[in-house]
Structure 1
Amino acid sequence: MLLAVDVGNTHSVFGLYDGETLRIDWRITTGLASTADELGVTLKGLFREAGIDFESVDGIVIASVVPDLSMPLTEMCRRYFGHEAVFIGPGVKTGVPIHCENPHEVGADRIVNAVAARERFGAPVVVVDFGTTTNFDVVGTSGAYIGGVIAPGVNLSAEALFNKAARLHPVDIHAPETVIGKNTEQCVRSGLFFGYVALVEGLLRRIRSEIEGEVPVVATGGVAVLFRNAIEGVDHFVPTLTLDGLRRVWEQNRP
Structure 2
Amino acid sequence: MLVVVDMGNTNITMGLYKEDTLIGNYRLTTKLQRTSDEYGFMILSFLQAYQVTVEDIKDVIISSVVPKIMYSFTNSIRKYFHKEPIIVGPGVKTGISIKYDNPRSLGSDRIVDAVGAYYSHHCACLVIDFGTATTFDVISSNGEFMGGAIAPGIGISAEMLSNRAAQLPEVAIKKPQHIIGKNTVEGMQAGVVYGYIGLTEKLIKEIKKQYSEPLKVISTGGLGRMIYHETDLIDAYDKDLTFKGLKIIYDMQKRD
Q: TM-score, normalised by structure 1?
A: 0.96
Q: SS of the counterpart of 2:149?
A: strand
Amino acid aligned to 2:104: H
AA partner of residue 217 (structure 1) = V
Structure 2 match to 1:162: 162
Report deviation, 1:26. 0.8
Aligned partner of residue 17 in structure 2, secondary structure: strand
Does the 8 Å CA contact 1:112/1:246 hold for their aligned counterparts? Answer: yes
Q: Give the corresponding residue for 1:213.
A: 213
Residue matched to 1:198: 198
Letter of the 2:128 counterpart: V
Q: 1:34 Cα shift?
A: 1.6
Q: SS of the residue aligned with 2:229?
A: coil
The Cα RMSD (Å) is 1.2
Identity, % of aligned pairs? 38
1:173 matched to 2:173? The reply is yes
Q: Deviations over 1:82-106 (max 9, x none)?
A: 1100101011100100001000011
**Deviation for aligned residue 1:184:** 2.0
> Aligned partners of 1:24 and 1:141: how far apart in 2?
31
Unmatched 5+ residue regions in structure 1?
A: none
Match of residue 77 from structure 1: 77
- Code of the aligned partner of 2:206: R
Query: Do the aligned residues in 1 keep the contact of 2:89 with 2:108 (CA within 8 Å)?
Result: yes
C-alpha displacement of 1:172 = 1.4
Q: Structure 2: 5+ residue runs without aligned partners?
A: none
Matched residue, 1:100: 100
Query: Match of 2:153?
Result: 153
Query: Does 191-200 or 226-235 show the bigger shift?
Result: 226-235
Q: Which residues of 2 match residues 122-133 of structure 1 at below 5 A? A: 122-133=122-133
Cα pair 1:2 1:17 within 8 Å, conserved:
yes
Corresponding residue for 2:234?
234
Give the TM-score, by structure 2 length: 0.96
CA contact (8 A) 1:114 1:127 kept: yes
Number of residue-to-residue matches in the alignment: 255
| Equivalent residue letter for 2:139 | V
